[in-house]
Amino acid sequence: MLFRSLSLVAALAISSAAADNDDGLIKMKLHKMVPEEDFMMNLLSYHSPPTIKSSSANSLASVATERKLVRGAKQQNHAQEHIVLKNKLNAQYMGEIKIGTPAQSFMVVFDTGSADLWVPHEKCHEEMNCVAKNVFIPSSSTTNKELPWGSKSSFAIHYGSGPVSGVFTIDQVTLGQDDVVSDQTFGLVEHSSGLGALYQKAKFDGILGLAFPSLSQNPGAHTVVQNLLAENVIKSHVFSFYVGKDKPGEVAIGGMNEKLMKKETLNCIDIMEPARYWLAEMSDQVKFGGEVVSTGKHAGIIDSGTSLIYGPKAVVMKMALQLGGMFMPQVNLFAISCDKKVPDLEFNFGGKPYVVPGKDLTMKDVTGTHCFLGISMMMFGEEDEETMADVETLDEEVDLGITEDIEKLVGVGESKIPIPAGVTAWLVGDKFMMQQYNVFDVENKQICFAELKEGI
């Protein structure tokens, strides 16, 4: 069969903490664990292939979010929370949070493409894909509270792979060692079957969203970061990502870790209004191997919940076909020869070029015999469906059982992402973010990039 399982080479566990007096941070030691069980095509992320919806500014507010799953962390300082991200083959990043009293621990995805916090409810254990998950038991927490009268009490989120649903509750949430939000409203997923079998294999329990509150399923409640700021746990409405390449990474909540970045190279770009996703304007050119492959007005959605890079269908097709790629509709990816050298991909934000090396755009299975291009196609509504007619596909070579699992992973539904009319959008995930330090400034509505320090 064409697809094979990908084995995780190593997993990292946080085992102890030691204070670092010169910067007030707590550094967490990371140790290898024995290799975990196979995780089917974990490089592909849990987002469905995004669908762009061209919109006017007036219509953006009516478009709901429908997405996500995969990544994470752990660590601490009251003015600035540092959380180490656990790396799964540069595709899955997860971090630990604690909820309730006594604390119940969960591994969550830190996701800049969604705005809600949710973990599984104890009822979720009735679902096959939720049996092994850490679940929240409200009755076991002395700080669990009932929702105020009139509050939204239930939710349903439609991911590309299917729906999840549950109820809202209130309890304290702890990040790092002891930074606490006392009364956080969050979701408890009771029904997780829509996430498919791969939710069962994934190592995360839930999601902590870091997009703007307007994307929340419960806009009447503050997000975790809003509450951290309101309760003076953090001093600044800023969070930052260092996405480790073949090593652990870090998310810093409340600021940025200047030990990881060259501050003098910080380049900040205003995000496009209205502020919902982390959508920043790019230059009028995108280059692949030094060749201009796309012109016009561009924008990039910076999304820590996606491992791939998504671009316009016609542009990605051109890029893939010059590599001899064969499209696999089951997973919305192009299979390429493992001997093929993939060119560098270059974006330009704020007048500065940002390059994703070609070596980071090639994905291999554990045998090294099957390779895929780490750039996939963004869908643009109902347009251009006929453009796939002439593309060579590998439909008949893919084992049915494998593709059913992967369909659940990458999603067969649509995620409507509103983009202003006339803008060509790219969705850039961790393959882009791992190239530099990434700062998300909520208060000033900016996203900033800085070069990593040598040796990082």
From the candidates 111, 171, 179, 441, give the one annotated as an active-site residue.
Answer: 111
- Integer-rounded Cα radius of gyration of the chain: 21
| Cβ density class 343-364: b for 16+ within 10 Å, e for less | bebbbbbbeeebebebebbbbe
Structure tokens at 137: 């038991």
Tokens 């939000």 belong to residue: 181
CA dist., res. 227 & res. 339, Å (int): 50
Is 95 in contact with 111 (CB distance < 8 Å)?
Answer: no
3 state DSSP class of 195: helix
Structure-block tokens of residue 220: 């009447």
Q: Is 178 noted as a catalytic residue in this protein?
A: no
Asked if 214 contacts 232 with a C-beta cutoff of 8 angstroms, the reply is no
Give the Cα separation of 200 and 216 in Å (integer): 25
Known active-site residue 111: yes
Q: Give the C-alpha separation, 372 to 390, whole Å.
A: 19
Distance CA 187, CA 169 (A): 6
3-state secondary structure of 241: strand
CA distance 69 to 111: 8
Q: Which of 95, 39, 114 is nearest to 305 (CA)?
A: 114
Q: How far apart are CA 155 and CA 152, in angstroms?
A: 8
SS3 of residue 391 by DSSP: coil
* Closest alpha carbon to 47 in 389, 301, 367, 288: 301
**What DSSP character marks residue 273?**
S
Please give the Cα distance from 40 to 88 (Å, whole number): 12
Which listed residue (303, 360, 365, 430) is catalytic?
303
Task: Please give the C-alpha separations between residue 279 and each of 270, 370, 422, in angstroms, as whole numbers.
Answer: 9, 33, 14
Give 321: exposed, middle or buried? Use CB within 10 Å, 0-12, 13-18, 19+: middle
**3-class state of residue 27 by DSSP:** strand
Element (DSSP H or E) covering residue 333? strand 333-336
3 state DSSP class of 438: strand
How many CB atoms are closer than 10 A to CB 230? 12
Would you name the residues annotated as active-site residues? 111, 303
